[in-house]
Amino acid sequence: MSVTLQKGEGGDTTCVIDKTAEDIFVQKLSSFGKIYSEESGVIGEGKYNITLDPLDGSDNFLSNFPYFGTSVALEDDFGVKAAVIANLADDTVVVKTKERFCRSSLMKPDFKDIVKNPNSKVGIFERAYLSKTYADKLKAAKIKYRIPGAVALSLSLAHEVSFVILEGDLRVFDVKAGLYMCEELYQHKTNDLTIICQQENILNRLKQILLEDR
């Protein structure tokens, strides 16, 4: 499954498992519209645009680390209408539409509304290992965070953790569905930094820590 095929549209190397996952989604979703996939780019045509990351967290999957899944966003001319992010390792799926935002088991559907967790003690800092300055500033401030390694899945948890930080360029495949799920949370974005928080006071503290010399 780790055999490489090509460089994907998103810039990462496409493995057999990535392409296999993409083929399954294309078979199931192509009738709904044009698919823009991390692996193959634009596929097909139609009324709606579908942004797809067939396997979010490919390295985790290949390493048997249980934090990998899929990310799908459906949009029309007015923006995203619905998004689905699934963690295939723990059998959970998060779904957001204009009407509802909820989580369920994949195998035993029982959808329950997403609620904020104000008691969270840690945040998520995706790709912190590539950080040039922000990781050092969080360390100096003794801010706890995790680096699970799948951007869409981490964004789908933004209502449950203290914060989600993304550093560097954001690829549309990684964030389209996740940012839609975070649209009502407190956010701050610059060219190289995105901070998303449940609580405004935490956002303000992180801005002070990370952007104090700007």
Which residue range(s) make up the domain with 30?
Answer: 4-107
Among 107, 134, 160, identify where a domain stops: 107
pTM for the full model?
0.89
Q: Which amino acid is at 111?
A: F
Instruction: For residue 71, give the nearest of 52, 90, 89 by alpha carbon.
Output: 52
> β-strands 69-76, 163-167: how paired?
unpaired
- Clarify whether residues 12 and 102 are in a common domain: yes
- Clarify whether residues 16 and 51 are in a common domain: yes
- Clarify whether residues 129 and 206 are in a common domain: yes
Sheet of 145-146: strand order equals: 145-146, 123-126, 163-167, 193-197, 186-189
CATH value at residue 176: 3.40.190.80
- Clarify whether residues 39 and 69 are in a common domain: yes
Distance CA 212, CA 210 (A): 6
Tell me the average pLDDT across 61-82: 95
- pLDDT tens-digit map of 35-55: 999 778 899 888 899 999 999
Is the pLDDT assigned to residue 2 strictly greater than 70?
no
Hey, which residues does 73 pair with through a beta bridge?
A: 51, 83
pLDDT of residue 12: 58
- pLDDT tens-digit map of 154-193: 999 999 999 999 998 889 989 999 999 999 999 999 989 9
Band of the pLDDT at 214, cuts 50, 70, 90?
Answer: low
